[in-house]
């Protein structure tokens, strides 16, 4: 089948917005309320004539388990099911203990992992991006899922990673 890209990260970092951006259409559910994407959902995507599947791993039940356990299990799932993984971080917040735990899991992955610094809506926000090298997963890719900034470059990297 076609390659699978899994999108993981804490609630509210913009995973579903990014998935919509990468799909080029609004389809994944986006809400201001953290945890609104209840289920893991797959979508068919195409970039430069290559087809792949994007999995939005937003499912999170704040009553059932803490965010830390949830994000870590997302990362474990992504490692077993995906050909490449995006770890999405809110660049305006920086990396939290949860992001560091997810990164620690993902550093064991044999699959390529790209760190996405989301919510880099303007040049000013670029200043926070370099800090995300500390996750130990290589170069962070700045994007604004909301406005589309950097999403084409990210998709080029994703295709190279498969
Ligand atoms: P998820 O929980 O990780 O799936 O996050 P969502 O995609 O539901 O987004 C959470 C909130 O962040 C929403 O209010 C989005 O509009 C907002 N958001 C997502 N991407 C960006 C971005 O690039 N810039 C800004 N400023 N806000 C964003
Ligand atoms: Mg979501």
Q: What token pair was written down for 98?
A: 């949860």
Number of neighbouring beta carbons within 10 Å of residue 25: 10
Residues measured by CB to lie within 5 Å of ligand 2, the ion: 15-16, 37, 58
98 is in which domain, residue-wise?
4-161
CATH number, residue 134? 3.40.50.300
Q: Residue 39 in 3-state DSSP?
A: coil
H/E segment holding residue 9:
strand 4-9
* Residue of minimum CA distance from atom 12 in ligand 1: 14
Per-residue pLDDT, 159 = 97
Per-residue pLDDT, 60 = 46
151 in ligand 1 pocket by Cβ < 6 Å?
A: no
Best substitution site from 12, 14, 39, 126 to test ligand 1's pocket, by max atoms within 8 Å of Cβ? 14
Instruction: Give me the number of domains the chain comprises.
Output: 1
What are the tens digits of pLDDT across the range 19-60? Answer: 999 998 656 556 555 555 555 678 889 999 999 999 887 654
Rg (CA), the chain: 14
74 in ligand 1 pocket by Cβ < 6 Å?
A: no
Own/partner contacts of 101-104, CB < 8 Å, gap of 24 or more, are: 101/68, 101/71, 101/72, 102/8, 102/9, 102/71, 102/72, 102/74, 102/75, 103/135, 103/136, 103/137
30 in ligand 1 pocket by Cβ < 6 Å?
A: yes
Q: What share of the chain is helix, strand, coil (3-state, %, to 5)?
A: 35, 20, 40
Q: What 8-state DSSP symbol labels residue 41?
A: E
What are the tens digits of pLDDT across the range 59-116? Answer: 544 455 677 777 778 878 787 889 999 999 999 999 999 899 999 999 999 999 999 9
């Amino acid at each position: 089948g076609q390659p699978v890209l899994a999108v993981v990260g804490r609630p509210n970092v913009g995973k579903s917005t990014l998935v919509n951006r990468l799909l080029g259409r609004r389809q994944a559910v986006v809400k201001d309320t953290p945890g609104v994407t209840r289920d893991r959902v797959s979508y068919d995507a195409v970039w430069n004539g290559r087809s792949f599947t994007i999995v939005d791993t937003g499912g999170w039940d704040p009553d059932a388990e803490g965010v830390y356990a949830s994000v870590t299990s997302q990362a474990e799932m992504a490692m077993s099911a995906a050909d490449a993984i995006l770890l999405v971080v809110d660049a305006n917040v920086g990396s939290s203990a949860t992001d560091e735990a997810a990164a620690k899991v993902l550093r064991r992955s044999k699959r390529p992992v790209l760190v996405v610094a989301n919510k880099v809506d303007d040049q000013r926000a670029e200043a926070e991006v370099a800090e995300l090298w500390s996750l130990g997963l290589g170069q962070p890719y700045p994007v604004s899922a909301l406005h589309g900034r950097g999403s084409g470059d990210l998709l080029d990297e994703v295709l190279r990673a498969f």
